[in-house]
Every structure is written in C-alpha cells, then in structure tokens.
Amino acid sequence: MTRPSRIPLVRTSVWFIAAAAFGTRVAFILNQQRKIPHQILATVPFEQETGNIAFALSQGKGFGNLFRQNTGPTAWLPPVYPLLLSLIFRIFGAFTISSFFPAVLLNALFSAAATFPLYHLARQVAGRTVAVASGWLWVFLPAGIMMPFEWIWDTSLSVLLATTLLWMTFRISSSASPKRWLAYGLLWALALLTNPSFGIALPFLLIWAALRARNLVQLSWRIPAITFVMILLCCLPWTIRNYSVFHRFIPIRSSLPFELWIGNNDIFDPHAINGIQRITRFEETRRYAQLGENAYLAEKWTRATFFIRQKPALFLHLIGRKVIATWIGTEHPLSDFLHANSFLVRTVLLCNFLLTLGTAAGALLVARSRIPFAAPLAVFPILYPLVYYVTHTSLRYRHPIDPILIFFTVVAIAASCSKKYRTALPTSHPS
C-alpha cells in the first residue's frame, strides 16, 4: 500500500481519533494552567463536595465531612468518583498541584475514551462514515475539550459511562450470552454509583434490549431478570451503609431535596415578601453543620415543595427557563451571546445551539427511518435531563449525553448533504 493511501486510513481509525481527542483536551489543560497560578489550581478546583469527601477519605475519616468541617458521614454524593479522587490524594497529596494534574488528565482520558463507544454505536446504527464524522466532531466539541479541566467531578467519567451504556445496550440486544449480559449489569451498577441520574433510563433500555434479544436469539427472560437483580445487589451495600448511618432509605445519594430547593425558592419570585435575597455557601454550610444532614435536607424538602405548591405557575415558568439553559447553556441565549465579551463563551453558546438543532433534526430522521435502534437512541436525550428541568441545571449536567447528541447531529448533516441518506438510514452494520 502506498503512503498516500495509508494516511486516510489512519485518519479514520478510531484509535487515531481517540488519540486526537486526548490531545485536544491535554492541549487545553496545558494552555490554561499557564494562565492560572499553580497555588490556585492546587486548591480551588477541589473546594467542593467531591474534593472535600475525597480529602476525608484520604485522611482515614470515612465518606463524610461534606464541607471540610467535622460534620460526620454523608450520602450527598454517590461513592465512585470521590473514592477515585481520594486515591489520587493518597498518592500525590491532598490539595496540591501534584494532585491537580493527575485528576484533570484522568478526566481527559475518560472524555477521550468515550470516542470508542461513540464510534462503534454510530457505525452499528448508521455506517462507518457517520461513525468517523461523529468521532471527529467529539474531538473538537468545545464542551468536551473544556470540561475535564473545568470540573474535577464525575462529569467526564459520566460521559464515558453513558455512551458505553448505550453501545452495550445495542450489543446485548442481539446476544444470548449470559456473560455479556452480566457484564452489562456490572456496567449499569458502576454507572448508577457514579451518576444516579442515569437510573431514569435503566428500565427502558433493559426492557428494549431484552425484547429485541428475545425476538432475535430467543433469549430467556431469566437472563435479563438476573441482570437486573445483579444491578440491585451491586448497589445494595451502599444503600445498606446509608441506612445504617442515617436510619432512612437512601438508595444512592441524599441531596435531591437540596437540589430541588436551589432551583425552586423565593429568590426567583420578585414579589415574595421576606423572601430569600441570596444564597451563600457560608450560610448553607453553617446551617448544614448546625442541623446535620438529615434535618438539613428535610428542611430543604419542606421549603421546596411548599414553594412549588404555592406558586405552580412560577414553577412551570422556571422549568421552561431550565429547559433552555440545559440545551443552550444559559437562560437568555441571545442576550448573553450578543453581550459576551469572550470569543470562547460565544463559541460554546453557538455550538450548543447548533447541537440542539442537529439533535432535533437527527432524532426526527432516525424516528422516521424506523430502524430498530431509534427507541434506545432517544432515551437519554429525552429522559436524562428531566431531573434537571425540575431541580436546577448547568451545561455540565447535560454534558454526559453530548456524544449521543453529536451522533444525531452528524446524521442530520449527512441527510442534508446526501439524497440517499435523506431516503433512509442503513438498518444494520457490523459492529
């Protein structure tokens, strides 16, 4: 094979695309760390719930001390990512620049690794051209490049898990292998213990895969049933730990009442009498330490639900604002785009807008094509953001499903460029 013909093959290799994704993320990390003093990078990115719990774990104080005070155990977050970060603290030291770089590089690795399931699911559904294009779009997506550096949280790991879950759902839907189904169950357990919001998609994806496998390979109902039981059993130890500590049922994390209150309180009502004027971290930390986690969250639940019952019209209005913010990145996209004095901010807002349009167009095309994968493809974009519409939202909350949105966008672009693609999508491709 001649040298010129080898180059295109390299560019379409999923390994090369994944390496390029890792390269763009590392390049951003290196660029940003030059602009920010290292004494800030050593502490500020870790000064949040994940970093505080990881610090307590690294000091042998258990899964607790949510605000770096001696407040005891917590179930505020799921366990996987804080445990992972605590290992970095143990090896490289807590709140040091030596810990910062491994943490963000690990995030970058998670983000880049999402290229593999994205490529394979796109290839299985729509062919190699769409798979390659989806991979390269993920390489250069601004949010994908920025998030590993901006958030030392489970965000980048969640990207990898969400995309892998969807790809594995496709694979097991034509398999009767018990080992493959059990691996699928373990993946789901890991995902739920990392990001419980994925749980909204579990019954839909599991049932779809079981029904399709039953039709294609006569799968016994026992296998998906055992898979589901295994998912529950894997999550059970953490639930038992939470019950033994807090004496109430907390499946994975406890912070929903707080998240609901943050997005639904009188600070959003300009006509409220004696309403909240602002929410400060100092005051909430003080209140949490004073009441303890159980009482603090009970108080937030009471206030949030009272607000929703008393002001249903405002609650619905806030949901509308959160829907816009989830998909575009801000509640006032046009105004914020026009007044932004940062090219990067404008780029992110524009990319989110185009990705939203592309997702809608691609999802419509996939639905009309009646391919067997249309239903599971729609599950995450439709269901995953629902909890954030009701509680509160941020661009990073939607980020775990961005590779799936990229796939839909590439399908829409392919349809606009090719008459053949407008007619129908391929119904099957080798994985």
Q: Which amino acid is at 295?
A: A
Interatomic CA distance for residues 125 and 169, integer angstroms: 12
Q: Lowest-pLDDT range, 12-26, 225-239, 270-284, 347-361?
A: 270-284
Instruction: Give tens-digit pLDDT for 398-410.
Output: 999 999 999 999 9
Instruction: Give tens-digit pLDDT for 89-108.
Output: 999 999 999 999 999 999 99
Cβ contact 145:28 at 8 Å: yes
Q: Which two tokens stand for residue 134?
A: 């989806």
Domain coordinates in residue numbering, the chain: 3-148+254-423
pTM (two decimals): 0.93
Q: Which residue has the tokens 């258990």?
A: 62
Q: Which residues of 8-46 are buried (b: 16+ CB within 10 A; e: fewer)?
A: eeeebebebbbebbbebbbebbeeebeeeeeeebbeebb
According to DSSP, the residues that pair with 73 across neighbouring strands are 64
Instruction: Give tens-digit pLDDT for 138-177.
Output: 999 999 999 999 999 999 999 999 999 999 999 999 999 9
∠94-257-230 over CA atoms, to 5°?
A: 75
